[in-house]
Structure 1
Amino acid sequence: MSEAPNAELPKSVDPYRLAEQGSTLEGVVPLVSLSRFRDTVSRLPEGSECHVSLTFGLDEERRRVVSGKLSATVVLECQRCMGDMQSQLESGFELGLVASEQQAQQLPKNLEPFPVEDFSMDVWTLVEDELLLALPAFPLHDRSECPATKDLEALEPDPEPEEPEAESTRENPFSVLAGLKNTKH
Structure 2
Amino acid sequence: MSKASCAGLPKSVDPYKLAEQHSTLEGEIPLSALSRFREAVSEVSEDAVCSVTLSFYMDGERRRIVSGELKAPVILECQRCMGDMQVTLTSEFTLGLVTSDEQAQRLPKDLEPFLTDDFSADLWSMVEDELLLVLPPFPLHNRSECPAKEDLEALEPKVESEAEKAPAKENPFSVLADLKKSKH
TM over 0.5: yes
* 5+ long unaligned stretches in structure 2: 178-184
The one-letter code of the counterpart of 1:83 is: G
Aligned-partner Cα distance in 2 for 1:4–1:21: 15
Which structure 2 residues correspond to residues 59-78 of structure 1 after superposition, within 5 A? 59-78=59-78
Alignment of 1:26-105 (within 5 A): 26-105=26-105
Q: 1:155/1:134 Cα in 2 relative to 1: closer, same or farther (>3 Å)?
A: closer
In structure 1, C-alpha distance between the alignment counterparts of 2:62 and 2:157, rounded to whole Å: 66
In structure 1, what is the Cα distance between the partners aligned to 2:157 and 2:135? 36
C-alpha distance in 1 between matches for 2:155 and 2:80: 16
The TM-score normalised by the length of structure 2 is 0.84
In structure 1, C-alpha distance between the alignment counterparts of 2:131 and 2:60, rounded to whole Å: 28
2:5 equivalent in structure 1: 4
Query: For residues 5-24 of structure 1, what are the structure 2 equivalents within 5 Å?
Result: 7-24=7-24
Deviation of 1:4 (Å): 2.5
Paired amino acid for 1:171:
E
Comparing 22-31 with 143-152, which one deviates more in the overlay? Answer: 143-152
* Pairwise CA RMSD: 2.6
Aligned length: 171
Q: Which residue type is aligned with residue 170 of structure 2?
A: E
Deviations 1:42-68 (A, max 9, x none): 001340000000000001100000000
Contact 1:44 1:75 in 2 (8 A): yes
SS of equivalent residue, structure 2 residue 4: coil
- Once the two structures are TM-superposed, the CA of residue 159 in structure 1 deviates from its matched residue by 8.2
- Distance in 1 between residues matched to 2:22 and 2:157, nearest whole Å: 63
Query: Relative to structure 1, is the Cα distance of residues 158 and 67 closer, same or farther in structure 2, using a 3 angstrom cutoff?
Result: closer
CA contact (8 A) 1:91 1:134 kept: yes
Identity level (%): 63
Contact 1:73 1:87 in 2 (8 A): yes
Query: Equivalents in 2 of 1:132, 1:14: separation in Å?
Result: 24
1:153 equivalent in structure 2: 153
1:175 and 2:173 correspond: yes
Q: TM-score, normalised by structure 1?
A: 0.84
C-alpha displacement of 1:118: 3.1
In 2, Cα distance between the equivalents of 1:28 and 1:92?
16
CA distance in 2, matches of 1:118, 1:105: 18
* Contact 1:3 1:9 survives alignment (8 Å): no
Cα distance in 2 between the residues matched to 1:3 and 1:39: 31
Deviation at 1:152, TM superposition (A): 2.5
Distance 1:100 1:159, change over 3 A: closer
TM-aligned CA distance change 1:94 to 1:155, over 3 Å: closer
